[in-house]
Amino acid sequence: MKTESKFRLIIAEKPDAARRIATALGQKIISNPKRGELPLYEVTRNGERIKIMAALGHLYTLKQSGKGWDYPVFDVEWVPKYQAEKAAENTKPFIERFQELSRSTDSFIVATDYDIEGETIAYCILKYACGDEALRKAQRMKFSTLTDQELTEAYEHLLPQIDLRMAEAGETRHKVDWLFGINISRALILAVKRSTGRYRTLSTGRVQGPILAFIANRENAIRTFVPTPYWAINAKTEIEGRTFILEYSKDKIPTRNEAEQIIRKCRGKNGVVKEIDKKPTRNLAPYPFDLGALQTEAYRLFAFTPSRTLSIAERLYLAALISYPRTSSQKIPASLDPRRILESISRISSYQSLAAELLRKEKLIPNQGKKDDPAHPPITPTGVLPTHGALTGPEEKIYDLVVRRFMSIYGDPAVSESAKVTIEIGDEVFYLRGRRIIEKGWLKFYGPYFKSDEILLPEIREGQILEITECTAKDKHTSPPPRYNPSTLLKLMEEQEIGTKATRADIIDTLSRRGYVTGEHFTITDLGFAVIDVLRKYASQVLSVEMTRDLEQDMERIQSGKLKKEEVLSTTIDFLRPVLEKFKATEKVIGAELDEALQRVIRKSVTIGICPVCKTGELMIIRSRKTGKRFIGCTSFRNGNCSFSAPVPQTGVIQPTEKKCQTCGFPIIVVRMKGKRPWQLCINTKCECKSKLKAKAAE
């Protein structure tokens, strides 16, 4: 006869989630871990003992089966993360505790995030720490918020098992990305090492390569762009004491001669209002936030990178303030109760009147997009309110943005009116354009996040004579395409359907970490160009967007049961094998090309500019052999011609700029530290700008 388990084991993804689950389910708390202890909670519910144990995200990772550091390598297996990564030693006690707990129970409940990564995390813990029997028996809590109500409902209505197809899709994605990343990256590293004897960290990946190729193509387009000159004509008039700009009917005049002829025709003449055309426009409310839209909007408004926005959103989710952020849905589910959420957020004074206005509506009907996500709804507030002082400044910004977007989707359409006034100056036609908002609608809820572009015109009538105070032609040039920034690169990845909502932000960050791009508006470096050039010459297949997109679709087919993971892995190996064989045959040539680019990158990264003291030497970032500390020194020190030196921060990444201090003329450097916003620094320790900053701080 089967004996009942002594307790039920709930597997959470992170410590904060475990605490939330324990608080929601526990009618009585038996044990509550203290700071520094493993996040293992024990509670009772309806007389039943429940233990909730958290992971630290992934406790297992992929590692090569067998030894050696060559390529190609296609044998891979899951191992405890601490066995593969020295920095992951803290995962060992978590795995050991899961193993211990599994020996005392036969009742397992998965409560990791309900997505591919969450299911993969749970799958590995169950299979490798708890055993195949645990994997077979495990039930599933499915939730999109960490509110007490939703967690309780998820526990009371358990799914009979984990989503094995989702887990298989996640496992396959990890293995495919590992096969691409390890093999191509190793090929690059070993090409340099075997050619020069030097080890350099280089990498590329299934998605990283095609994205870097996009950036390289854009940079080439910018550098080869030949600007075309043209002339733009504007006139000025005064109406009721205000100056207005009149646009010429043709945007671009191709020659100076033609532009001057038009100016001569208009000189000394008044304008006559010939026609006034007014058109109302209904602007529907925005869609609910999916992750990509939230990241794009946060970059536009706050200059937050996609990865920073995701990190902040995850903290708000773990605090139960917003729903699960890794979603691609733009559709509000019928089960969501907007009135409950609005009634709750109305207790915050800044939302009180806005929420009250929506609550007076008979029906709350959201404006929704086409994208859907079967796992999670859009990002919305939960109705749980932040306690006073609990949120950091960036967290307050993202929370406010989510709340205002949520209210906006239930707002009425905004109505604006555009006006186009046709004005003739002699025989030449000009336009005066205006815009005004007639009905704010949803805009009042989005508040500070809507940028008004109103141009209010005075009363104008047909036949009215306008005095022209000025008519000029300005010479201009066509502009090259803009460089990508984190937001536009994220949009590109979404449009090309490569990467996932969970991985895109990290891929963008990796390009900067590897030194392939620099700056907020991504400028590809010599190293980035070298890697792309090498891959185009010797392994162009790995830069294929179509190949990457097809593999993404294969993951979806695994999840839907239309494809087996073994087929996808076999196809991946068949694709990579000839690519790597060709690469190996020419790796000495490849290594020499890469090393040359690396030397240029290294020199640029430590060269600050010409020394402003001696005017002949170069300022370089130097590391002292004696103390190990870095500083800025002049190369003329070697021949005794200059003794200038300057201290620099000993942590973080220092990047030269081409900027000069406006106060003293010395070079400006940028300091980047993990978790902090980069800041600019004048290297002159005696510069007056530093004393001004100290005085300002003292105030």
pLDDT digits (tens, 9 = 90+) for 427-453: 999 999 999 999 999 999 998 999 888
- Residue 231 CB neighbours (<10 A): 22
Please give the structure tokens belonging to residue 322: 């917003």
Q: Is the domain defined by 8-162 classed in CATH 3.40.50.2300?
A: no
Distance of CA 626 to the CA centre of its chain: 41
pLDDT at 694: 41
- Residue 264 CB neighbours (<10 A): 11
**Which residue in this structure is represented by tokens 């729903």?**
323
The pLDDT of residue 1 is above 50: no
pLDDT at 199: 87
For the chain, give every residue range classified as CATH 1.10.460.10.
171-223+483-598
pLDDT at 5: 54
DSSP string over 261-329: HHHHHHTT--EEEEEEEEEEEEEPPPPPB-HHHHHHHHHHHH---HHHHHHHHHHHHHTTSB--SS---
Least confident of 183-192, 331-340, 670-679: 670-679
pLDDT at 675: 62
Residues facing residue 111 across a β-bridge: 12
Burial class (CB in 10 A: 0-12, 13-18, 19+), 207: buried
What is the Cα–Cα distance from 315 to 626, expressed in whole angstroms?
43
What is the Cα–Cα distance from 404 to 486, expressed in whole angstroms?
23
pLDDT at 490: 94
Sign of the Cα torsion 523, 589, 199, 602 reads negative
For the chain, give every residue range classified as CATH 1.10.290.10.
291-408
- Going by pLDDT thresholds of 50, 70 and 90, the confidence category of residue 472 is very high
- Domain 291-408, CATH number (from 3.30.70.270, 1.25.40.20, 3.40.50.1370, 1.10.290.10): 1.10.290.10
- Residue 63 CB neighbours (<10 A): 18
Nearest CA-CA partner of 424 in 279, 232, 237: 237
Which helix H or strand E contains 119, and what residues bound it?
A: helix 116-124
Please give the structure tokens belonging to residue 389: 């002082």
The pLDDT of residue 4 is above 70: no
488 contact partners, CB below 8 Å, separation of at least 6: 482
For the chain, how far is it from start to end, CA to CA, in angstroms? 77
Name the more confident of 35 and 12. Answer: 12
Give the active site residues.
324
What is the Cα–Cα distance from 511 to 203, expressed in whole angstroms?
9
Residues in the chain: 699
| Secondary structure percentages of the chain, helix, strand, coil, to 5 | 45, 20, 35
Name the more confident of 1 and 68. Answer: 68
In degrees to the nearest 10, what's the CA dihedral of 578, 580, 586, 588? -170
Pairing of strands 679-682, 428-439: unpaired
Please give the structure tokens belonging to residue 447: 């508040």
What is the Cα–Cα distance from 259 to 250, expressed in whole angstroms?
11
- Give residue 506's identity as a one-letter amino acid code: D
In degrees to the nearest 10, what's the CA dihedral of 408, 413, 414, 415? 180
191 in Cβ contact with 584 (< 8 Å): no
pLDDT digits (tens, 9 = 90+) for 621-657: 998 888 889 999 999 998 888 999 999 988 888 888 8
Q: What are phi and psi of 404, to 5 degrees?
A: -70, -35
What is the Cα–Cα distance from 357 to 398, expressed in whole angstroms?
23
Residue 197, CA distances (Å) to 182, 190, 255, 588 in order: 20, 9, 58, 11
What is the Cα–Cα distance from 681 to 653, expressed in whole angstroms?
13
Least confident of 116-120, 439-443, 444-448, 678-682: 678-682
User: Averaged over 274-292, what is the pLDDT?
Assistant: 96
Least confident of 47-61, 70-84, 521-535: 521-535
CA atoms within 13 Å, Cβ hemisphere of 209: 28
What is the Cα–Cα distance from 244 to 527, expressed in whole angstroms?
50
- Domain 229-285+414-477, CATH number (from 3.30.1330.80, 1.10.760.10, 2.70.20.10, 1.10.10.1150): 2.70.20.10
Going by the DSSP 8-state scheme, the letter that residue 409 receives in this structure is T
For the chain, give every residue range classified as CATH 3.40.50.140.
8-162
The pLDDT of residue 584 is above 80: yes
SS3 481: coil
Going by the DSSP 8-state scheme, the letter that residue 89 receives in this structure is G
For the chain, give every residue range classified as CATH 2.70.20.10.
229-285+414-477
Where would I find the H helices in 441-564? 443-446, 486-496, 504-513, 526-538, 545-559
What is the Cα–Cα distance from 651 to 303, expressed in whole angstroms?
24
The pLDDT of residue 476 is above 90: yes
pLDDT digits (tens, 9 = 90+) for 488-501: 999 999 999 998 88
Please give the structure tokens belonging to residue 538: 């010797």
In degrees to the nearest 10, what's the CA dihedral of 56, 59, 61, 65? 160
- Domain 171-223+483-598, CATH number (from 1.10.10.10, 1.10.460.10, 3.40.50.1780, 1.10.645.10): 1.10.460.10
Percent of the chain with pLDDT over 90: 78
The pLDDT of residue 149 is above 50: yes
Distance of CA 469 to the CA centre of its chain: 48
- Going by pLDDT thresholds of 50, 70 and 90, the confidence category of residue 61 is very high
- Residue 246 CB neighbours (<10 A): 24
What is the Cα–Cα distance from 494 to 511, expressed in whole angstroms?
17
Burial class (CB in 10 A: 0-12, 13-18, 19+), 510: buried
183 in Cβ contact with 191 (< 8 Å): no
What is the Cα–Cα distance from 370 to 380, expressed in whole angstroms?
17
Least confident of 103-107, 366-370, 563-567, 598-602: 598-602
- Helices 486-496, 208-223: inter-axial angle, 10-degree rounding: 120
293 contact partners, CB below 8 Å, separation of at least 6: 287, 330
- The overall average pLDDT reported for the chain is 92
Name the more confident of 690 and 618. Answer: 618
Percent of the chain with pLDDT over 70: 98
Least confident of 466-470, 515-519, 539-543, 548-552: 515-519
Where would I find the H helices in 561-674? 565-585, 587-606
pLDDT digits (tens, 9 = 90+) for 256-273: 999 999 999 999 999 999
656 in Cβ contact with 607 (< 8 Å): yes
341 in Cβ contact with 382 (< 8 Å): yes
- Going by pLDDT thresholds of 50, 70 and 90, the confidence category of residue 518 is confident
pLDDT at 200: 83
7 contact partners, CB below 8 Å, separation of at least 6: 42, 48, 49, 50, 51, 104, 105, 107
- Going by pLDDT thresholds of 50, 70 and 90, the confidence category of residue 673 is confident
